[in-house]
Amino acid sequence: MDAKPRIDKDTFIEILQDKPLLDADDLLIFQTIYSLEKQEASATDLARIIGWKDKAAVVGRIAGLGMRILKKYDIKQSVRSDGSKRYWDFFFSGYYKGDFFIWKLKPELKEALEECGLVASIRPISLQRAFLFAWNPDNWDWKDLNENIEELYKTGKATQKWSCKSHKSVRPGDRAFIVKLGTNPKGIFASGKVVSEPFLSQHWSGEDKLVPRVVIEFDILLNPEKDPILLLDNLKAGNLKNQTWTPQASGISIKPEVLGELEEEWFEFLRNQNISHNPFIENKDLLQTYLEGSVAQVTQTRYERNIHARTECLKHFGYSCLVCDFNFEKHYGNIGYQFIHVHHLTQISSVGKEYKVNPIDDLRPVCPNCHAMLHKQNPPLSIEELKDLIKNK
């Protein structure tokens, strides 16, 4: 195998400071991969995080930069066995992870980025990915849905095969949400994780054709005919409105900037609804609806959350729980970056009308565990009361 090209740190510094040679999008690729855990990612991941259409945009820019570097610097270039040229390995080492080729930032480029001050303000981000799978009862009769729900309740585990449009990018461990389409009610009724590599399986219609599928292991599974579900109208605020919730095909990617808000909306919904086998509530006599803001009539009265108030609250208080001081980033690393719930000191549902939320006076960041404990009674405990319970336990 031919030797890998080597560019030393000082040459990388020259390249990074040469604006005609290196444009803003080239630098953005390097800054993005620098921000990731282990400073490695596939071209597909990089495109998704940056917001470009697909990996071709990333590969094309890296190849273009490599060609420009070759015109200016005398650097040995590696060539594949078929005679085609490599450009990515000027900047990255690489290896296969399943079906995906992973780029890892070279140490010399990492040091050059740091010495040039190009990553000083970069915060770590997570590669946690999520996909939205669709179920239309008009197309497929989920005959064993109730059995699956009981199985999950009794054993803690239930799985189903699901068709997946994004079979080239989905991986085991990715987050999964299931949305019901077709007749009302429409909305999210299940969540879990992908637990298999994509595989080919017969089409649901029974036609003589194969479709890519994955196995999903559920952590929440509701019956839309018996239980309330997270309606599509609840997914129109903040970044949630930027996601397609009625996909034409099952298994589309959920945008990274949407996932945190979706997880919190899902948590709040589950905690406040009268749902059979609810994992967050033991005493269903205590259930209340605490969804926020101006009243909108759907199949029930809901209270819209003000995402801007949440943002201002977190800017002021930060991302540590004000009850137990737990910080997800400190405990879990990059995957916990900027993850926290926001608790209303005043129950919005008890106000019964639209009112202005003061993000500093009315809101507090709390971890999901403390958030659930605050609402274990009605009216909820105060922050100080829960702190005292922890202190005196």
| Per-residue pLDDT tens digits for 258-268 | 887 888 788 77
What is the per-residue pLDDT for 280? Answer: 52
Whether the per-residue pLDDT at 89 is higher than 70: the answer is: yes
Whether the per-residue pLDDT at 108 is higher than 90: the answer is: yes
What integer is the mean pLDDT of 67-84? Answer: 85
CB 135 within 8 A of CB 180: yes
What integer is the mean pLDDT of 12-35? Answer: 93
Mean of the per-residue pLDDT values for the chain? 82
**111 vs 255, higher pLDDT:** 111
Residue 105, CA atoms < 13 Å, CB-side half-sphere: 24
User: Before 228, cis peptide (omega within 30)?
Assistant: no
Residue 226, CA atoms < 13 Å, CB-side half-sphere: 9
Q: Among 57-61, 115-119, 238-242, name the one with the lowest average pLDDT.
A: 238-242
Whether the per-residue pLDDT at 16 is higher than 80: the answer is: yes
**107 vs 98, higher pLDDT:** 107
Per-residue pLDDT tens over the stretch 277-306: 665 544 333 333 323 333 333 333 333 344
pLDDT band at 21 (very low <50, low <70, confident <90, very high): very high
Whether the per-residue pLDDT at 181 is higher than 90: the answer is: yes
What integer is the mean pLDDT of 239-244? Answer: 89
What is the per-residue pLDDT for 282? Answer: 42
**287 vs 244, higher pLDDT:** 244
Q: What is the percentage of the chain residues whose pLDDT exceeds 70?
A: 84
The pTM score is 0.51
**148 vs 300, higher pLDDT:** 148
What is the per-residue pLDDT for 304? Answer: 37
What integer is the mean pLDDT of 30-56? Answer: 85
Whether the per-residue pLDDT at 95 is higher than 50: the answer is: yes
What is the per-residue pLDDT for 289? Answer: 30
**133 vs 309, higher pLDDT:** 133
What is the per-residue pLDDT for 349? Answer: 47
Whether the per-residue pLDDT at 68 is higher than 90: the answer is: yes
Per-residue pLDDT tens over the stretch 189-209: 999 989 898 998 877 666 778
What integer is the mean pLDDT of 155-171? Answer: 87
For the chain, list the domains and their CATH numbers.
9-115 (1.10.10.10), 124-257 (3.10.590), 288-393 (no CATH)
Per-residue pLDDT tens over the stretch 311-365: 778 888 988 999 999 998 888 776 676 788 888 887 654 444 444 668 888 889 9
What integer is the mean pLDDT of 152-174? Answer: 86
